[in-house]
Structure 1
Amino acid sequence: MRSFLNLQSLMNVVRRVRHGMTLGVRVMAHDTDGRLLLVRHTYVAGWHFPGGGVDIGETAEAAARRELQEEANVDVAGDLALAGLFFNPRVGGRDHVALFRAGQILAGPRPERNLEIVAADFFAYDALPEDVSPATRRRLDEWRNGLPPAGTW
């Protein structure tokens, strides 16, 4: 019986490695004037919601709070609400993105350019940069128009 349990445990690990998923987070956050926070990365074109990968042993909410702080020097003073979980087929065929909406935020000075972030800034909805990423624009359209979220990022 004991060897069967060890074999079963090994099979579970193999299955997770072969069929596991990756999880990222993004955060839709607004300042007190209602402007939207977006970041521009060094490694991908366009403006995006702040976010990144969930580390081992980290909750998605903790990752969202960490990424906001690291990328934009923004802390969430209020709640984070899960706005949707999306399949991201462009990243290995097994990636998912959890989108959160931030309540009240505390914004510090804009961070200096670094190896990951070129810029982080707040934008009015009628003055968004032209090169907002397609996924970011889809989520904004869904939110602003009261549409149900699509299943893919």
Structure 2
Amino acid sequence: MSLDDLWYLADEADQQAEQAYHRLRERHDGFLERRHEKHVSRGRFRTLASRIRERGTPYGAHTIVHRPGGDLLLVRHEGVDMWVLPGGEVDPGESFREAARRELAEEAGVEATYEGLGVLGRVEVRTGGYDTWGVLPVYAARADPEGPTPRPRDPDGEISEARWFTELPADTRDRDILREWRRRRGV
């Protein structure tokens, strides 16, 4: 794809993102909205814009899993060397929620009751004179406090550990989102 084609790719991605955004807003309420901007290389821009064009999201769907006492479930992602929310790419024919549930099972080995959309992220991606955006749906789900100990079964081998946290570890990605979500929930 030539650089001139990036404009068309970005435009198609924008259209898909807009549709995904409106579908999520129509189906859910009471969620936190966040905006994040990423400046990336042209190659990375092409990759993310292609993902957005296909499914509306550059990074898939994720889940904030909590227990009644306020503990949050995080997984250790070796690729970024941080504790993150379980989640990942959306497979063809899969809804965002289905992807979030599948990724939770793979990355943490736990089941949870999905409560709805917790956070609707808008990820703006830029490189040079090109830009596009995609959604980042993060669902909220409640786990049984007596449920199984989290154990990753990640087929990609990126997740090395899954654990409950009362206090977020220092190397937690998206700390501000998790703190705001907890504050709004009174947890």
TM-score, normalized by length of structure 2?
0.58
Corresponding residue of 1:142: 180
Change (3 A) 1:90 1:74: farther
Distance across 1 between alignment mates of 2:100 and 2:150:
19
Calculate the aligned-residue CA RMSD, in Å: 2.8
Q: Is residue 2:61 matched to residue 1:25? A: yes
Corresponding residue of 1:95: 134
Residue 26 of structure 1: how far off its partner (Å): 1.3
Gaps of 5+ in 2: 1-7, 14-51
Q: 2:78 aligns with which of 32, 38, 42?
A: 42
Gaps of 5+ in 1: 1-14, 148-153
Change (3 A) 1:37 1:100: same
Residue 28 of structure 1: how far off its partner (Å): 0.6
Structural mapping, 1:1-80, within 5 Å: 19-20=12-13, 21=52, 22-23=56-57, 24-31=60-67, 33-76=69-112, 78-80=113-115
**SS where residue 130 of structure 1 aligns?**
coil
**SS where residue 99 of structure 1 aligns?**
strand
**SS where residue 118 of structure 1 aligns?**
strand
Distance across 2 between alignment mates of 1:97 and 1:144:
18
Per-residue Cα deviation, 1:36-71 (whole angstroms, up to 9, x for no partner):
100111211311111111111100110111000000
Q: Is residue 2:151 matched to residue 1:110? A: yes
Distance across 2 between alignment mates of 1:132 and 1:19:
33
Distance across 1 between alignment mates of 2:160 and 2:72:
17
Between Structure 1 and Structure 2, how many residues are aligned?
128
Distance across 2 between alignment mates of 1:83 and 1:56:
23
Distance across 2 between alignment mates of 1:17 and 1:44:
26
CA contact (8 A) 1:61 1:80 kept: no
Q: 1:130 aligns with which of 170, 174, 182?
A: 170
Change (3 A) 1:109 1:89: same
Query: Amino acid of the residue matched to residue 30 of structure 1?
Result: H
Corresponding residue of 1:83: 118
Residue 17 of structure 1: how far off its partner (Å): 8.0
Distance across 1 between alignment mates of 2:163 and 2:94:
26
TM-score, normalized by length of structure 1?
0.70
Corresponding residue of 1:121: 163
